[in-house]
Amino acid sequence: MELQSLQITVLLTCLGLMIAQILVKDKRATHILFAIFCGSVAMSLAKGLSGNVIGTYQYLIGMAACITCNGYWLLSRALFRKENAIKLPHLLFAGAIALLIMLNQGFLFASNSGFIQTNDTSMFKHVLRELTVLLSSSILVLSFWEGLRGFKHANNTEKAQRFLFLATFGGAVASSKVLQGLFIDTPMAKDFALASITFVVVASTQLQILWQDKTRNHDSEAATSASTKALLHQQQIKPPLENTASLDESVLAEQIKTLLLNDALYLKANLKIADIAQKLGVPEYRVSNALRHNLKARNFNQHVNALRIQHAKKLLADEDKQKWTVLVVGLESGFASVGPFTRAFKAATGFTPNQYRQRLSQTESA
């Protein structure tokens, strides 16, 4: 295969994969970053293919090829980090490298077009190029590190995915450096090797993303299946518990009486049916059923208030507690404040607590 044919093949492959990522319905960061990476690589290849035709304008195309190594670093983070993969500092670092690449290409365009004199800016050109090379090399190391970190604690599938990444990416970087040295006198052979390496990296990365998508979908389906089985299991064991509850409803009613009377729970302010259900380890509806069917109560609050009012009557009749205010009597009987106590007491007896106490005093005096 000729060099140009290979480069066109890789270019079309990158464009096709970029479009494929755009068409993915449930996009993740990996799809978006890989699409950007493929687009940038495509622009880099377009620059090389069009150089002989458009001349210095190829550098304007090269400015769009500014998200290659830096884009691949972000992609590697998205591939292997489950949380906080990409944050603002990472975007700024990758953006700084993109800016340097664009400045380099813009400088080449301006100098080759005669807009600036190369001799006057040789130091700037040298510093700009060396800084770009330094940061690009550093970010390649960081990309390799993303596949390496956490390898020991990964499961077998994740280890296999990381191994594919490390072998492909590490092999591509090492091969490109070696081949550039070997083919320094044969530019076409060097370009052919670099295009081949690019194709391998792009194809391998697409395989990596598809593999991870399949693994994620499998894990999601497994989690859903486990949840469904757990729900079905709960539904299967529920009927026997309900049958047992209906048989032992009278026993449950006795347990409720013991808690309310012997343990004096009815004197606890803000007592709820959920408190009783929790102590007995049964659903709330079973407590309600036992109260209605066995203790002849309309509802839980009515039953508890009836017990509290009986207790309040004893306190109001106690000669040693005649100095207690209605508020104190209500609080000691389990009511949260004097208002609910007075209303409940009058609804049950027809008198307010003070009226009830006065009637007791008059009866004793007579």
pLDDT given for residue 72 in this prediction? 94
pLDDT given for residue 1 in this prediction? 67
pLDDT given for residue 366 in this prediction? 57
pLDDT given for residue 223 in this prediction? 60
pLDDT less than 70: residues of the chain: 1, 118-121, 219-248, 365-366
Find the angle CA(76)-CA(84)-CA(102) to the nearest 5 degrees. 50
73 within 8 A of 206, measured Cβ to Cβ: no
Find the angle CA(235)-CA(236)-CA(237) to the nearest 5 degrees. 95
Q: Dump the DSSP string for 256-320.
A: HHIIIIIS-GGGSTT--HHHHHHHHTS-HHHHHHHHHHTS--SSHHHHHHHHHHHHHHHHHH-GG
pLDDT given for residue 249 in this prediction? 79
pLDDT given for residue 265 in this prediction? 86
pTM: 0.61
296 within 8 A of 310, measured Cβ to Cβ: no
8-34 burial by CB neighbour count: b if 16+ within 10 A, else e?
eebbebbbebbebbeeeeeebebbbbb
256 within 8 A of 290, measured Cβ to Cβ: yes
pLDDT tens figures, 20-46: 999 998 888 999 999 999 999 999 999
**Structural domains of the chain sorted by starting position, each given as residue range(s) with its CATH number in brackets:** 3-225 (1.20.1070), 248-365 (1.10.10.60)
pLDDT tens figures, 236-282: 544 444 444 444 678 888 888 888 888 888 888 888 899 898 988 88
pLDDT given for residue 13 in this prediction? 96
How many CB atoms are located within 10 Å of the residue 111 CB?
19
Cα distance between residue 358 and residue 366, in whole Å: 12
Cα distance between residue 356 and residue 345, in whole Å: 9
- Residue 317 has which token pair? 């009749």
Cα distance between residue 192 and residue 199, in whole Å: 11
Three-state SS at 356: helix
**How large is the angle between the packed helices 122-148 and 88-112, nearest 10 degrees?**
150
Residue 39: CA count within 13 A, CB half-sphere: 16
Q: Dump the DSSP string for 234-247.
A: HHHHHHHHHHHHHH
272-300 burial by CB neighbour count: b if 16+ within 10 A, else e?
ebeebbeebebeeebbbbbbeebeebeeb
